[in-house]
Amino acid sequence: MRMLGWLILAGLVLLGLFGLLNWGALSTPTDLSFLGAHLNAPIGLILLGFTLILLALFTAYVLTLRTTMLLDTRRYTQELRAQSQLAEQAEASRLTALRSQLDSEFAKLHSAIQATETGLRNQIEEATRGVEACVGEMEDKLDRTLPPPR
């Protein structure tokens, strides 16, 4: 219990002890007047009864507040959980969209790289054929200008 709970419990215990120790004085009949009606009753017991009724009403009020607070907390927790799930689903869909976009971009990049590679291979082959042709022409010129070895 918290400090306030202990204080309330101590007050109730003291009230109970006060009632037990002064039972004779609390139960002594006295002449009472209620709006013109006269009654001979123990005023201590009547006041103790009113105190207990007020205590019961206060306890009911506190329990009602506590119940309302717990129900509100439960409702807020459920709403928070639902919003969290919505946010997670939205994040998952964004990640899925990002992944598909990245896949398409990588596919475009891969096809561009392949096209560039094919173009480079063709240029290398052309250059190789050109070099081979030049070497062949040089060999022919050397064969024509130089006498055959003996």
Q: What is the pLDDT of residue 33?
A: 84
Cα 42 from Cα 19, distance rounded (Å): 13
Helix, strand, coil shares of the chain as percentages rounded to 5? 85, 10, 10
pLDDT at 135: 93
- Where the chain has pLDDT below 70, the residues are 1, 149-150
Q: SS3 for 29?
A: strand
Structure confidence at residue 16 (pLDDT): 85
> Could you give the CA distance from residue 132 to residue 125 in angstroms, rounded to a whole number?
10
SS3 at position 81: helix
Residue pLDDT, tens place only, 66-91: 999 999 999 999 999 999 999 999 99
Q: Is the pTM of this model over 0.85?
A: no
Please report the pLDDT score of residue 150 as a whole number.
66
Contacts of 55 (CB under 8 A, 6+ apart): 12
> What pLDDT is stored for residue 69 in this prediction?
96
Is-contact 43 33, C-beta < 8 A?
Answer: no
Are 42 and 26 in contact by the 8 Å Cβ rule? The answer is yes
